[in-house]
Chain A
């Protein structure tokens, strides 16, 4: 089993609709969680951190469920520009610095 798993998609989403997807992780000692966005094999860019209480940034909402070991991302009122691959990142502490593990990414295609 992979340490961090995502549904690769693609999720085909009509413009204006809501889409949500999860990321599961296997290491219960994981400490920090993030969602990154990657466009067409360009460099990933931070979308948002994921906090225990859940957090929202505009149309984007992230949730963390430690008991079931997954994080989620919800996108409301999808825009064409939201088409991208969304990567979840999980970090775990090591003496030499945190080890980051990326999920394989979930591809989202927003269509008119």
Chain B
């Protein structure tokens, strides 16, 4: 089944404890991206990648890191999480490097930083 998977789906952590949220797609898509969704602010793009080893900042990259060492994986790293990073996170992929076509979203990761 073609899909985007994220792990973990739910995470409670404490301020400053490094964490990684994994994202994997099995559709051989070139473009992958991370979003956070907050009430009243909608979905905001954190980082995106048009291909392996090519990443760029979205609208809200502060406090996050990403890497794209393999085409299928695009992990999101929070080196020192803070309470303002409590949010619902979505990973997404699309077929071509431009990202201007249909985005396929993962199921989301709910993060609570205490």
Does chain A bind chain B?
yes
- Chain B residues within 8 Å of A103, by CB: 42
Distance between Cα atoms of A14 and B44 in the complex (Å): 32
Within 8 Å of chain B (Cβ to Cβ): is A101? Answer: yes
Which residues in chain A, 28-72, are within 8 Å of chain B measured between CB atoms?
31-32, 34, 36, 41-46, 49
Query: What's the nearest-Cβ distance from chain A to residue B74, in Å?
Result: 13
- In the bound complex, do residue B42 and residue A99 qualify as a contact, i.e. CB atoms below 8 Å apart? no
> Given known contacts A41-B108, A44-B105, is B43 in contact with A98 (CB within 8 Å)?
no
Query: What's the nearest-Cβ distance from chain B to residue A8, in Å?
Result: 8
Within 8 Å of chain A (Cβ to Cβ): is B28? Answer: no
The residue in chain A whose Cβ has the minimal distance to the Cβ of B41 is: A104
- In the bound complex, do residue A101 and residue B45 qualify as a contact, i.e. CB atoms below 8 Å apart? yes
The residue in chain A whose Cβ has the minimal distance to the Cβ of B106 is: A43
- In the bound complex, do residue A98 and residue B59 qualify as a contact, i.e. CB atoms below 8 Å apart? no
Distance between Cα atoms of A16 and B90 in the complex (Å): 33
Query: What's the nearest-Cβ distance from chain B to residue A31, in Å?
Result: 6
Within 8 Å of chain A (Cβ to Cβ): is B62? Answer: no
Distance between Cα atoms of A31 and B100 in the complex (Å): 8
- In the bound complex, do residue A44 and residue B90 qualify as a contact, i.e. CB atoms below 8 Å apart? yes
User: For the side of the interface on B, what is the size category?
Assistant: 20 to 34
The residue in chain B whose Cβ has the minimal distance to the Cβ of A91 is: B100
The residue in chain B whose Cβ has the minimal distance to the Cβ of A95 is: B56
Residue tally, chain A, CB below 8 Å to B? 26
- Chain B residues within 8 Å of A101, by CB: 45, 59
- In the bound complex, do residue B42 and residue A104 qualify as a contact, i.e. CB atoms below 8 Å apart? yes
Distance between Cα atoms of A7 and B106 in the complex (Å): 26
Within 8 Å of chain A (Cβ to Cβ): is B95? Answer: no
Residue of A87, A94, A100, A104 ringed by the most chain B CB atoms within 10 A: A100
- Chain A residues within 8 Å of B58, by CB: 99
- In the bound complex, do residue B99 and residue A98 qualify as a contact, i.e. CB atoms below 8 Å apart? yes
> Given known contacts A32-B101, A46-B102, is B54 in contact with A97 (CB within 8 Å)?
yes
19 A-B residue pairs with Cβ-Cβ distance under 8 Å, sorted by A, are A31-B100, A41-B37, A43-B90, A43-B105, A46-B102, A46-B103, A87-B42, A87-B43, A94-B56, A96-B48, A96-B54, A97-B48, A97-B56, A97-B99, A98-B98, A99-B48, A100-B33, A100-B48, A102-B43
